[in-house]
Amino acid sequence: MSGLPADPLALSAREPLLNLFRQLTLAHDALGREIIVNMLLRNYLHYKHYDAADKLISSVSDIAQNHKSTNQSARFFYYVACVKAIKLDYTEAGSCIAQALRKAPEKALGFRTIATKLMLTIQLLSGIIPQRSEFRAKDVRRALQPYLYLTSCVRFGKISRFNAVLTEYNSTFVADDTVSLVHRIRHNVIKMALRRVCQSYSRISLSDICAKLSLGTAADAEYIVTKAIRDGVIDAYVDHENGWCVSREVANVYATTEPALTFQKRIAFCNQTHNEARRAMKYGDKQEQDEEHKKKLEQDAKELVKALEDGTADLMEDEGDF
């Protein structure tokens, strides 16, 4: 592709890429647009210009629906997941990273590894504990070990262990470009630890919560407990006069709307997967028809050439006899 900058990650390469994107749009070159959009998103993410990347994603919604290249589609959804995760839209980020992993080739081990790391981080931020089987793949077991430790910290609410893992593997998270997201997981670790404390004690003082969660002061503990109650993490109330956190009786979750909302999310995910499969099948049928038509044209061309050669030979024989 002519007009590409020598270093697509350079800040000076952004304007040539945008000019090339305009040219390809006017020329209706869909595959070229996909490549340039991915290069632009990579450039924006490299310099942490997430607002510009989000605006670009919203302006190329047609590319997200109809990709010409599966590989470019996988890269596009990975970049979208990165932007959405930074923008705190973990639901959309999880959906995009799942599509990226589905579309990525099995041989692209490096891409699948980095995408899996992002997927695990998004799951932890969404409050989902990944299954242990996701860390047991032979080729990525060692690379995913820091994220396995993070999952263990979130599951059991171990704040001190989380801080130790964050310090030990900070260089790994920086290299994976997930360090900012990993720092956010600390809030989930605190929530899980607080939930376990409230399940163990029907009434506990805020000073004891401060000691168990390694917080600064009782005022910090009161703020965190109040926020957890407001977010629905725990079912309790704060007795400000005595400085207690009093847990309420466990309610029947099936009497709430939570099961219906969870079921609706799963239905939406299945419908999206089904629609993508149908589009892929249609694209495959069209591709087969194009290949058959191309073979037929090649066969007709060969027959025409052969007929012309036979006609020329007969004509030369007739001229010789004459």
Q: What pLDDT, on the 0 to 100 scale, is given for residue 290? A: 64
Residue 184 vs residue 63, higher pLDDT: 184
pLDDT in tens, 10-34: 777 778 888 888 887 787 777 888 8
pLDDT in tens, 189-243: 888 888 888 777 777 787 777 777 777 777 777 788 888 878 777 777 777 777 7
Contacts of 147 (CB under 8 A, 6+ apart): 117, 120, 121, 135
CATH topology of domain 1-105: 1.25.40
Q: What pLDDT, on the 0 to 100 scale, is given for residue 320? A: 47
29 near 63, Cβ under 8 Å? no
Q: Where are the domains of the chain?
A: 1-105, 124-199, 201-275
201-275 has CATH 1.25.40.340 classification: no
119 near 101, Cβ under 8 Å? yes
pLDDT in tens, 68-87: 778 888 898 999 999 999 99
Contacts of 182 (CB under 8 A, 6+ apart): 121, 150, 166, 173
Tell the residue number behind the tokens 């932007």, with chain if given. Answer: 83
317 phi, psi to nearest 5 deg: -65, -45
- Check whether 62 has a pLDDT greater than 50: yes
Reported pTM: 0.71
Tell the residue number behind the tokens 């490549």, with chain if given. Answer: 35
